Structure 1
Amino acid sequence: MEIDAGRTAGGDETLIRLKEAEFAPGTTTCTVKSELEALGVAPIFEPMGSNARSYLRADLAQADFNI
């Protein structure tokens, strides 16, 4: 899975917010969340009732998740 590195939460280069990331056509944030969970990567921010999960870019890189 590849996330457009230019799209980050609030312009902060250390975070990636799935809601704002661009994915391959047909890929949903739920699919990406499941893939990240399978890799053991947890969001650092996941508000209840919202789809605005934020992940540390370093966590994604450590899990070898393409960003």
Structure 2
Amino acid sequence: MLNSIGIPGLIIILVIILIMFGPSKLPKLGRSIGESMKNFKDSTKGVLDEEEDSKKAEKM
């Protein structure tokens, strides 16, 4: 999906985001998106680790 956007489309999307949120809120928006992605990644890693532990316990 992202391969079909291209550089011009990405620039247009970024300009629309800049217009919608304004330059003062973009750092806050980026920070919150980054924190959300980190939390999601940590939680999925925790679920996968629990699943691996349960599979190891079943083998024993």
Per the normalisation by structure 1, the TM-score is 0.27
Query: Which is richer in helix?
Result: 2
Higher-Rg member (1/2)? 2
Quick one: higher RCO (CA 8 Å, sep 6+), 1 or 2?
1
Query: Which is richer in strand?
Result: 1
